[in-house]
Structure 1
Amino acid sequence: MSTEALGDLSAQDLRARAAEALTRARARSVALTDAVDDEDLVRQHSKLMSPLVWDLAHIGVQEELWLVRDVGGREPLRPDIDDIYDAFQHARADRPELPLLGPAEARAYVKQVREKAFDVLEHAPMEGRRLTEQAFAFGMITQHEQQHDETMLATHQLRTGDPVLHAPEPPPARSGALPREVLVPGGAFTMGTSAEPWALDNERPAHEIAVEAFWMDTVPVTCGAYTEFLDGGGYDDERWWSLAGWAYRQDNGITAPRFWKREQDGWWRTRFGVYERLPADEPVVHVSYHEAEAYAAWAGRRLPTEAEWEKAARFDPATGRSRRFPWGDEEPAAEHANLGQRHLRPAPAGAYPAGASPTGVHQLIGDVWEWTSTDFHGYPGFAPFPYREYSEVFFGPEYKVLRGGSFGTDAAAIRGTFRNWDYPIRRQIFAGFRTARDAAPGEVG
């Protein structure tokens, strides 16, 4: 069943679906925090990230604010910690100095909040109020927790020490030889959504937008392709970089993607505590927008706009409609995309032929977040809901849009319309990219 079909469910079935989504998110939060000892939970592994124990308690505070207090109208459990876990009041670098809940106290708190949230879910009406219509608030909190789970996964990548997370290998490439690029037709299509019940405010409303025909990489740029840029002196040649990108590269001494190291026998990387030879066929990950932009310039191409990315991911030329996902409207399954921390690494290029779009673009969902050239902004008719701080306060040229999700993104927190954003200098996130180019007149049929 698609999420768009939530309106066809009874209130009790909606409650069951919401409960399942919340339970799956909590199981992942527990796995990520139980994987390390208490000393590791309270340690700040990087100034870029919060201690894991902060993320855990913050998940509980958001759930209490929206589900227990707002939807449920219940008395506050811990109003004394609201400010401590307000992400806007305290920068990540400063959070270890706050009077945080300890590991045992944080676990007890989120458990108590969840018990009350489930009681609210059992009795809350699923209609009559936008926040509870089709269980929106419960879907919003599910997505919030899964987003913090991906943040905690990124913290695990930054920690030092023996590996503590384990997962099976992703499937091999199964598509045979794929073309370098595919043509996406020009014209108008429907971008965004007004129908997806659990879509967040920046995905709304659906609107028509036109793009010119363009060519897009069939798969994300791989590590092997990126090493050609590296070994060809791309990081030392100012021609390929924007002014901001070149200044950032020089000021920070950046010479390769984060976690990469050149050895005598080639490139190696560190991945969740494992030091391994760089896999040439995997999408490159842990690159900033500036690095992606420089590679594209070196390759004689460019990064796609956000509208181009979404058209490639959703538009079906045969029907003229926009799908929920590249493969159709059904929820992601294991054969469609690498999601949910299932494999702890991007899958090789061509590993998910069942997830390809109608125009033949592969792996648009999962594996790596993909940088686009678009600044984060609201769509025409945007309205903040249920609070400005989710999206609106980030609108502007400081942030670039990323699309598609990564191997660390849960299926509940991704769809063809989902929009992520970050500073163009960010490298600790699971971000890669693919390139595009304009179609010449003679290339359009």
Structure 2
Amino acid sequence: MSGLKERIAAELEAGRARSLAYTDVDDEVLVRQHSPIMSPLVWDLAHVGNYEELWVLREAGGLTPLRPEIDEMYDAFAHPRGERPALPLLHPDEARAYIAGVRGRVLDVLDAADLSRPDPLCSQGLVFGLVMQHEHQHDETMLATLQLCGLPGLVRDGDLPAGRPAGAAEVLVPAGPFIAGTGTLPWAYDNERPAHRVDLPAYWIDRFPVTCGAYAAFLDDGGYEDPRWWSPGGWEWRVRREVRAPLFWTREAGAWWRTRFGRPEPVPAEEPVQHVSWFEADAYARWAGRRLPTEAEWEKACGWDPRAGRARAYPWGDAEPGPRHANLGHRASRPAPVGAFPSGASPCGAEQMIGEVWEWTSSCFLPYPGFRAFPYRQYSEVFFGDHYRVLRGGSWATHPSAVRTTFRNWDLPHRRQIFAGLRCARPAAPGEA
């Protein structure tokens, strides 16, 4: 097996190990819907196998379908999440057996595949990268479901490096053009393509994500009771939903507490805040006298190397993420304190842009100039428009192989179950630039 094939096999195994670990719980936990906005865990488990069968076995391998009768049940567009508990879903044991059978055949297809042929679906192993990233994305969704579940003891924790004094609060990104998106990264999605030139004026961006301590100051200053800081839609949402703090936060005896995977604990001041919606992130930025960065501003700050005149795959360079660079892949079930990864700094000096928390941007999810849907419209194209806001950077729960400088995530502006936070930006004054 070639080096690329060995890497693909290892990445597929890493994703499957996570899926099985997050579903190694009582059947009652697997089949129950813990929130109307999430699927039962057992649906996610079988869905990753069905997606793998559709794309690797049928589309790339030309094999006869294994379970065509379940395709519609595990089609993410056929049934909204609220309907899925009522479907005749595969029993947990049956789901595990199904995805194991699919995976064995997928490895056979991989072994026989010619990854050098010009077929765009198979070239450089794209179809395998597609299903590998898809499974890691559902693993992160499973973690969000387990957080909503509220039962302790289901999710492992771990150790993280200590933070360090913050130093400068913001870094300057000089004016000028940069190349956004990619035309070279082999496993990038269609919405990351094509590479294109974007010219930006000078701006400042936070060196670190906004911390829980800084966000608590917004709360303690009455930020959730003052409509001045909220967009009209955000204020209507906040009042209607009676939102008064980030999801899972409570106020007890004059202090802020949070519930993390079923266990209450004091809110750690130096960790990046998470579980805030775009509405909340936008309101905080206004209160702070700042704004959310556009996604172009975020991407330039994250990966553009002005000396080399090119974009990096990651803030620190093109080397794949390692333990010195970023908090990724569920090392621990929380963000690391700010300042924990100086080796992961970007060329402009911004830190922790990859990992920790997904960062809301001000941008709507729109196609790049010259966009072409591939390999199917339902991954990106059907979501384009002004309903969804772009998130960047990945979270502590994101696997290293499923994130990069150009990766674009998106969600509705009121969603809070995702591991999302923010950093702020502001224009540079003439003298500053």
- Distance in 1 (CA, whole Å) between partners of 2:283 and 2:356 is 21
Residues 301-332 of structure 1: per-residue CA shift (max 9 Å, x gap): 00000000000001112222211111001100
Give, in angstroms, the shift of residue 419 of structure 1: 0.2
1:338 is displaced (CA, Å) by 0.4
Specify which of 188, 192, 202 is matched with residue 199 of structure 1. Answer: 188
2:157: which partner in 1? 167
- TM-score, normalisation: structure 2: 0.99
AA partner of residue 346 (structure 2)? S
CA drift at 1:162: 2.4
Please give the alpha-carbon distance, in whole angstroms, between the structure 2 residues aligned to 1:138 and 1:315.
28
> 213, 238, 248: which is aligned to 2:202?
213
Distance 2:257 2:33 in 1: 25
Aligned mates of 2:430, 2:9 — CA distance in 1: 52
- Contact 1:170–1:345 (CA under 8 A) maintained in structure 2: no
1:345 partnered with 2:352 = no
Report the equivalent of 2:250.
261
| Match for residue 71 of structure 1 among 60, 64, 68 | 60
Code of the aligned partner of 1:40? V
AA of the residue aligned to 1:90: H
**CA shift for structure 1 position 17:** 1.2
1:146 to 136, 143, 146: 136
Verify: 1:114 aligned to 2:103, yes or no.
yes
| Gapped regions of structure 2 (runs ≥ 5) | none
The answer on whether the counterparts of 1:401 and 1:422 sit within 8 Å (CA) in structure 2 is yes
**Which residue type is aligned with residue 124 of structure 2?**
Q
Q: Secondary structure at the match of 1:354?
A: helix
Correspondence 1:229-244 to 2 at 5 A:
229-244=218-233
| Aligned equivalents of 1:155, 1:370: Cα separation in 2 | 20
8 Å contact from structure 1 (residues 293, 302) kept in 2: yes
* Cross-structure match for 1:54: 43
Pairing 1:255-294 to 2, within 5 Å after superposition:
255-294=244-283
Distance in 2 (alpha carbons) for counterparts of 1:169 and 1:46: 29
- How many residues align? The count is 432
Q: Distance in 2 between matches of 1:160 and 1:290?
A: 24
Query: Do residues 412 (structure 1) and 401 (structure 2) align?
Result: yes
Measured against aligned partners, the alpha-carbon deviations of 1:41-66 in whole angstroms (never above 9, x if no partner) come to 10111111000000000000000000
Aligned mate of 1:88, from 64, 77, 81: 77
Corresponding position of 2:212? 223
Q: Deviation digits for residues 174-204 of structure 1, max 9, x if unmatched?
A: 4x34211110111100100000000010000
Q: 2: CA distance between counterparts of 1:373 and 1:234?
A: 19
Please report how far the alpha carbon of residue 16 of structure 1 lies from its aligned counterpart in structure 2 after TM superposition: 1.0
Equivalent residue for 1:132?
A: 122
Letter in 1 for 2:380: S
Aligned to 2:302: 313
Out of 419, 422, 429, which is 1:430 matched to? 419
- State the partner residue of 2:429: 440
CA displacement, residues 116-150 of structure 1 (integer Å, 9 cap, x when unaligned)? 10011111111231000000000010000000000
Q: Is the 1:229–1:298 contact (alpha carbons within 8 Å) kept by the matching residues of 2?
A: yes
Q: Distance in 1 between matches of 2:31 and 2:166?
A: 47
Report the Cα distance in structure 2 between the residues aligned to 1:169 and 1:253, rounded to whole angstroms. 35
CA distance, structure 2, for counterparts of residue 281 and residue 128 of structure 1: 49
Q: Secondary structure at the match of 1:171?
A: coil
Task: Compute the displacement of 1:167 (Å).
Answer: 2.1
Partner in structure 2 of residue 42 of structure 1: 31
Does structure 1 conserve the Cα–Cα contact (< 8 Å) formed by 2:151 and 2:261? no
Moved over 6 A (4+): none
Map of 1:330 onto structure 2: 319
* 1:6 equivalent in structure 2: none
The answer to whether the Cα contact below 8 Å between 2:166 and 2:338 also exists between their aligned partners in 1 is no
| Unaligned runs of at least 5 residues, structure 1 | 1-10
Secondary structure of the corresponding residue to residue 388 of structure 2: strand
CA distance in 1, matches of 2:151, 2:192: 39
2:177 is paired with a residue whose SS is strand
Letter in 2 for 1:91: P
Letter matched to residue 146 of structure 1: H
**Which residue identity is paired with 2:146?**
H
Q: Distance in 1 between matches of 2:378 and 2:429?
A: 42
Describe the SS at the equivalent of 1:437: strand
Q: Deviations over 1:368-394 (max 9, x none)?
A: 000000000110110000000000000
Residue-by-residue CA offset, 1:10-60 (whole Å, 9 max, x unaligned): x722211111110111011011001x1111110111111000000000000
Cα distance in structure 1, aligned partners of 2:145 and 2:167:
34
Tell me the distance in 2 between the aligned counterparts of 1:186 and 1:56: 46
Structure 1: distance between partners of 2:211 and 2:332? 17
Counterpart of 2:172 in structure 1 is 183
Distance 1:338 1:145 in 2: 19
Q: Which amino acid aligns with 1:297?
A: R
Compute the displacement of 1:161 (Å). 2.3
Q: Distance in 1 between matches of 2:66 and 2:375?
A: 22
Counterpart residue type for residue 308 of structure 1: E
Report the aligned-residue RMSD: 0.8
SS of the aligned residue for 1:359 comes to coil
